[in-house]
Amino acid sequence: MKSINPDTQSATSYANAQNNQVRAGGTTFAYRELGPRGGIPLILLNHWGAVLDNFDPRIVDGLARKHRVIAIDYRGIGSSDGIAPVTVD
């Protein structure tokens, strides 16, 4: 069950945050977001091959107290569509 903070209208804990999807460049990417709306968001980039559940909820929750936080699955990783590239290029 998703827990919502009425002040931010987002999940109150990363562990309980809903997975969302956005389509960009023909690929559907999975992401989670939480924290207050507005301002410049913090975009969390994980190590190669890691999925959304690899982020430490304690760290993300701490960041989300004051910042909007968006974590993503890379192309072809986790719940994102496509094929993961074999090089960083």
Domain map of the chain by residue range?
4-72
Partner residues linked to 78 by β-bridges? none
Partner residues linked to 30 by β-bridges? 21
89 or 1, greater pLDDT: 89
Average pLDDT, the chain: 87
Q: What's the pLDDT score for residue 11?
A: 57
The average pLDDT across 79-86 equals 90
Distance separating alpha carbons of residues 78 and 29, to the nearest angstrom:
9
Please, which residues have CB within 8 angstroms of residue 49's CB and are 6 or more apart in sequence? 77, 84
Q: What's the pLDDT score for residue 1?
A: 36
**pLDDT at position 9 over 60:** no
**Helix, strand, or coil (residue 62):** helix
The answer to whether 21 and 69 have CB atoms below 8 angstroms apart is no
